[in-house]
Amino acid sequence: MGQVDPRGLVSAASDGGYAVGAFNMHNPETTEALVLAAEEAASPVFLQVGRAIVPHMGIRKAYEMTKRIAEESEADYVIHLDHGPWDEVFEAIKLGFTSIMYDGAHLPFEENIRTTRKVVEVAHSFGIPVEAELGKIPDADEQVDWQSYYTSVDEAERFVAETGVDWLAISVGIVHGVPLATPQPLDIQRIKEIKAVTGIPLVLHGASGVPEDEIRAATAAGVHKFNADTDLRHAFRSGIESVWSQGDRQLEEAMAEGRRRMVEATVDKMKLYGCAGKADGLVLA
């Protein structure tokens, strides 16, 4: 048990026809919830330092907190930078992250290729795999022209060939957050086509609120890493609110109930993705 090789982790998921869960932490209690869930489910887990926690405590403190809590656990884990901008990616490499996502999806296509290629060159020299993103992902219930948001199959083929990324996050109908209205169905055929031309494991961000049958179909089509955050935050919040609704109670008691509910929600995700029970036999980093 301990820090595992991220490439081997995703490769094992690809070979085994399942996906690995990647979840964001926001404080010590939510970090503990993720590793407790990994222990309970006997599942590997990506512990993601994401866009909410970095402004809250800084990337160094967020990494050090995550590393300390993970090392004290029996979980198999990877500490991963999620949606890292240019400067932050290189800081993460210096700090000791073993997996990074560089997000250049907001850039013009050619610039995304150029900058991603440079990140891959540097990260690979340290043995660190790189996830990148192509396409745009809207916020939940934002009104968008989906055809302009979807990842292009032709662009994905060229992007992967010219950058050498290890995993590609794509846009096929997912959103950040949980939609209140009926969610956009995932474009499963597009996932299959992107997988066919790139040949690498694909990633879906915004997996909260996606129907279970679509999660399974996406996995079968080539997605082997799912990022989910909102569903787990809602579980944590419900625990806090359930304690505070009883009147004046200790904050620690409320956070403990939030942690317990987040563990349950995370284990459910791991079972859905198929990574529950897959911790044994992974190569330590």
Give dist(CA 190, CA 72) in Å, integer: 41
Q: How many CB atoms lie within 10 A of CB 121?
A: 12
Give dist(CA 239, CA 45) in Å, integer: 22
N residues, the chain: 285
From 76, 82, 187, 231, active-site residue:
82
Q: Is 82 a catalytic residue?
A: yes
Give dist(CA 147, CA 220) in Å, integer: 23
Q: How many CB atoms lie within 10 A of CB 146?
A: 13
Q: Is 265 helix (H, G, I), strand (E, B) or coil?
A: helix
How far, in Å, are 35, 184, 208, 266 from residue 30 at the CA level?
9, 29, 17, 11
- Write the burial class of residue 284 (CB in 10 Å: 0-12 exposed, 13-18 middle, 19+ buried): exposed
Q: What is the dihedral of CA 142, 143, 147, 153, to 10 degrees?
A: 0
SS (HEC) of 223-260 = EEEEEECHHHHHHHHHHHHHHHCCCCCCHHHHHHHHHH
Residues annotated as catalytic (active site), given as ranges: 82
